Amino acid sequence: MTDTSADLVILGGGSGGYACAFRAAELGLSVILVEKDKVGGTCLHRGCIPTKALLHAAEVADLAREGDQFGVKSSLEGIDMNGVNSYKDNIVAGLHKGLQGLFKANKVTVVEGTGKFVGGTTVEVDGTRYTGKNVVLATGSYAKTLPGLEIGGRIITSDQALNLDYVPEKVVVLGGGVIGVEFASVWRSFGAEVTIVEALPRLVPLEDEWASKQLERAFRKRGIKFKTGVRFTGATQTDDSVTVSLESGETFDADLLLVAVGRGPNSAGHGYEEAGVAMERGFVLTDDRLRTNLPGVFAVGDLVPGLQLAHRGFQQGIFIAEEIAGQNPKVIDEAGIPKVTYCNPEVASVGLSEAQAKEKYGSAETLVYNLSGNGKSQILKTSGGIKLVKAPDGPVVGVTMVGERVGELIGEAQLIYSWEAYPEDVAPLIHAHPTQNEALGEAFLALAGKPLHVHG
């Protein structure tokens, strides 16, 4: 018989929930985790992992199509979506199996079913109540839509887009943020005509404006169309197509409309408001130590205002476990959380944008290193660059990168930001040649006043 009491009860088994469970178990706490679906959450099953599998398949398609430029005689015969989905699903299944094994190894009790927070530190599942000394709310997020825009038929979210068994000929993507540009990139590589509609003035609007311009230039070269600074007004569909209308009076006919306007907190129906949890726009409010307004109740991940990133939730889960265990962990610096958008080319950043640095410090020094000076980037035939943002008479406070595979460079960039390093601290570090990582070193050499592979 399952024990209904534990040191910690967690509602939700996504990145934040399971990281909290495993770290708490490592620290000797007993843990009950409640999950209505599969452990691993959105990231593993409907987000990070399956989308990146599609993006890799898209990269392979581009390489096959463009082999001649490398002296390789290759061609793209077509996209077998059954094969692509099989590849994607096998990766997800393997990781899910491994995660299930970790739950057993860490002796975390998993309760399957829909949980409801009923106050105190208690969660109810199918009439059974589970009480902890502390409880963690970790119910994640859902794919949002716009008022009056009903999902169904040819109007889909990323949830349905991940399981398409065909490549659409024409797609309109509503939203030019991370999800929108990633799916636009995939479908263009698979041969679709793609148009992105973004109400804000630029694509990836949360990134440095320089990065948006770089990405927009690259998308134009790839034939990805986009309309920015214009609002969506409606969509009508038939059995064969969907027509999208904009405030400008323009209309677009397509096979599909992907609604990629962000994700909302999955808080409704879980008893939070009824139990008196402080909330705003559906988000659960916490202090910097992730405590809600109720004693013994914490919240984690996409449920909490801020960046909706799996690795943010993961780190927050670890933080809460250590906080409950009395280890007094260091508060997480939200600006120090790395961000990567995995379209082609990739966008990666950590710290402050130029605009944010100017707002905080009054002014900022910047430097852009173009990847045309980097040997490995030329081998990969990628354009882009690295932008450094430095506080006045202070350290580097922001790094933004655009180019193929630059997401793999974000680890060092995060260390530089967290270290509060000055250009003179980083410039002497040796970066292996030829690597794209070398471009980061060259950027810091230039900012330190000793540029080498910099033209003009």
Catalytic positions are 433
List for the chain the helix, strand, coil content (%; round to 5).
35, 25, 40
Specify whether the CB–CB gap between 426 and 449 falls below 8 A.
Answer: no
What is 235-298 written as a DSSP string?
EEE-SS-EEEEETTS-EEEESEEEE-S-EEE--TTTTTTTTT--EETTEEP--TT-B-SSTTEE
Which of 178, 138, 130, 116 has the alpha carbon at shortest distance from 266? 138
What is 362-431 written as a DSSP string?
S--EEEEEEGGG-HHHHHHT---EEEEEE-TTS-EEEEEEEETTGGGGHHHHHHHHHHT--HHHHTTS--
CA separation for the pair 142, 120 (Å, rounded): 26
Phi and psi angles of residue 16, each rounded to the nearest 5 degrees, phi first:
-70, -45
Q: Would strands 339-341 and 346-351 be described as parallel, antiparallel, or unpaired?
A: antiparallel
What is 140-204 written as a DSSP string?
-EEE---TT---BTTEE-HHHHTT-SS--SEEEEE--SHHHHHHHHHHHHTT-EEEEEESSSSSS
